[in-house]
Amino acid sequence: MLDTIQSPKDLRELDAEALPALCDEIRDFLLSSVSSNGGHFSSNLGTVELTVALHYVFNTPKDKLVWDVGHQAYTHKILSGRRDELHTIRQKDGLAGFPKRAESEYDTFGVGHSSTSISAALGMALAARHKQEDYQAISVIGDGALTAGMAYEALNHAGDLDANLLVVLNDNEMSISPNVGALHKYLTRLLSGRMYSSMREGGKKVLSSSKSLSKFAKLTEEHMKGMVLPGTLFEEMGFHYFGPIDGHDVEEMVSVLNNLSQIKGPRMLHVVTQKGKGYELAEDDPCMYHGVSPFNLNTGLVSSGKKSTPTYTHVFGQWLCDMAAMDERLVGITPAMREGSGLVAFSQAYPERYFDVAIAEQHALTVAAGMACEGLKPVVAIYSTFLQRAYDQLIHDIAIQNLPVVFAIDRAGLVGADGPTHSGNYDLSYLRCIPNMVVMAPAHEDECRQMLYTAFQLDCPTAVRYPRGKGTGVLPVAEMAVIPLGCADILREGHSGMAVLLFGSLLAEAQEVADEFDATLVNMRFIKPLDHALLRQMAEQCELLVTLEDNAVLGGAGSAVNEFLLSEQLDVSVMNFGIPDRYVEHAQREEQLLECGLDAPTLIKKINENKALGHSNIPMAVVAASAG
């Protein structure tokens, strides 16, 4: 059947009785495709039946289906004409790993971060009302996404407006007890049916003439539903709550969704699914099988047994445990990224000092501020792209009060297959403009460990930003020492009148460039404060300064160098290399660096072109723009 479906329109031609067999085909296809090519695994195995039911009942793309936590949308891509391209997912020039508006009309809203779907779908529902158009807006939100405040802000607004919005809560952590599953199914069918809705509205009209009777009826209804359904909170927010129902019973979901499609106003359907459904190893360990590289389905993910150099994330995790053993004031905070940010070992060794605040980045920073006020030393482990969500708290609650919070910023710079929604290209730009901040970027793994130690000793907000994956293979040493504040390190003395100023992880590229031109190579280490004395020395000794960073070239570390040189009226040419002023699409990180011109051969070519033109004292803004 799957081969006959090129769009949801084809899907809707099938009899409902055929849908379970189709779901089996889709799951088999996912198992084969993702195990062969890699991608998000557990979450997509869990949403097969839910996705089929949604596209079967609703008239997509006219009806707007908005996904949250977008890595669960592979079946959605399969059904909307992209089945034959699924093997390219997350690869250069292939399908994006998340819904993307430019990719398909069925992708109504781009998503990478969590907890945005209710707000977006509400906006679409309000647009339909404003334009007097007849279409449905449906948000599909993962249970973890409901731990973020933004989701509740949207629910509160939607309930207050009585918007025509359906929110599907994909609950993939709970299971329906066999004892009550049939009861929940019966109640959901009853409560979503026309008879109940008619009686409900009719009863309101009959009782509206008597305030006491109306109040009594409402209280009775709420108490009865509260005894058997977990939806009282959503009812209080103005939603009609239905469920929970079995998210792997596609025919049952079609029946319920058909009923709900006839009801207007804010509705919430609670669907229970299982991550990794249909593949036992992923069912048992959905976290391990969340995002996978190609693997053998028969044997599962098997460790190679080979020892390898640690990733930056592992370096941070080990430092955190070592530092916690040295200082009992240390507490670790993460917004629902324990595994991704390397806090597993710390959470096990120091459970009373480990705080997972759920998907609530704003809260993570302010609770850290409160802890710092009372003498603790909070370490916030957070992705660069997620820190953006808490920018106000960073300034208002931490920096203004000059509180000693350490930010371990993972996934800084280009992140590869996850693409622009997850790239941490802007943290140097948005951090260096904040007073009281200290900002560091290590050139290798051991320097990352030393910088984290240095940050912990400072009595001010401090950030250490490091990339995804491994660096140059410099093993971190056990001994830790404070790096002098704002002091750069000359790695290579050159004799050509050129200096390469490195900010961060592009050490191998910088070394190759420096060797090619016999240039001085400086590991700047600090973005804020800059080493002004060394910059002045380099400007006086050199004809050309080249800045290199894995950050947006606009407003980044190179811009900080430009600002200092201009303020000091130092007469030297500068070329700024960084990530250009556009979004870099998903690909391998090496491919992204090549696209951005941050690989060594391209850097060398650009510098040679500049030298061939005989540039001297070129306005720095012009050079920076052309270099990017």
CATH number at residue 495: 3.40.50.920
pLDDT of residue 380: 98
Percent of the chain with pLDDT over 70: 87
**H or E element in which residue 448 lies:** helix 445-457
For residue 296, tell me if it sits in a domain.
no
For residue 288, tell me if it sits in a domain.
no
In this prediction, residue 228 has a pLDDT band, given cuts at 50, 70 and 90, of: very low
In this prediction, residue 177 has a pLDDT band, given cuts at 50, 70 and 90, of: very low
> Stretch 24-29: mean pLDDT, rounded?
95
> Stretch 83-89: mean pLDDT, rounded?
93
Over residues 366-409, the pLDDT tens digits come to 999 999 999 999 999 999 999 999 999 999 999 999 999 999 99
Bridge-based pairing of strands 377-383 and 406-410 is parallel
Q: How far is CA 86 from CA 31, 583, 590, in A?
A: 12, 22, 22
| 577 C-beta neighbours (distance < 10 Å), count | 28
Domain range enclosing 193 = 2-282
Q: Is the domain of 503 the same as that of 574?
A: yes
DSSP helix/strand/coil, 542: coil
pLDDT of residue 191: 55
As annotated, the binding site for thiamine diphosphate includes: 71, 112-114, 144-145, 172, 279, 361
For residue 484, tell me if it sits in a domain.
no
Per-residue pLDDT for 230 more than 70? no
Domain endpoint, select from 282, 299, 329: 282
In this prediction, residue 288 has a pLDDT band, given cuts at 50, 70 and 90, of: confident
pLDDT of residue 287: 84
For residue 380, tell me if it sits in a domain.
yes
Over residues 576-621, the pLDDT tens digits come to 999 999 999 999 999 999 999 999 999 999 999 987 776 544 444 4
For residue 494, tell me if it sits in a domain.
yes
**H or E element in which residue 491 lies:** strand 489-492
Q: How many domains does the chain have?
A: 3
**What is the rounded distance in angstroms from the CA atom of residue 345 to the CA atom of residue 342?**
8
For residue 481, tell me if it sits in a domain.
no
Q: Is the domain of 418 the same as that of 501?
A: no
Of residues 262 and 610, the one with the higher pLDDT is: 262
Q: Is the domain of 255 the same as that of 373?
A: no
Over residues 497-549, the pLDDT tens digits come to 999 999 999 999 999 999 999 999 999 999 999 999 999 999 999 999 999 99
Of residues 180 and 300, the one with the higher pLDDT is: 300
For residue 329, tell me if it sits in a domain.
yes
Supply the mean pLDDT for the chain.
Answer: 89
Dihedral pair phi/psi, residue 405, rounded to 5°: -110, 130
pLDDT of residue 370: 97
> Stretch 128-136: mean pLDDT, rounded?
95
As annotated, the binding site for Mg(2+) includes: 143, 172
**H or E element in which residue 410 lies:** strand 406-410
Question: 0.85 exceeded by the pTM?
Answer: yes
Over residues 35-77, the pLDDT tens digits come to 998 889 989 999 999 999 999 999 999 999 999 977 889 999 9
**What is the rounded distance in angstroms from the CA atom of residue 149 to the CA atom of residue 357?**
11
Report, as residue numbers or ranges, the catalytic residues.
275, 361, 389
pLDDT of residue 22: 97
**What is the rounded distance in angstroms from the CA atom of residue 428 to the CA atom of residue 534?**
20
Domain endpoint, select from 282, 303, 334: 282
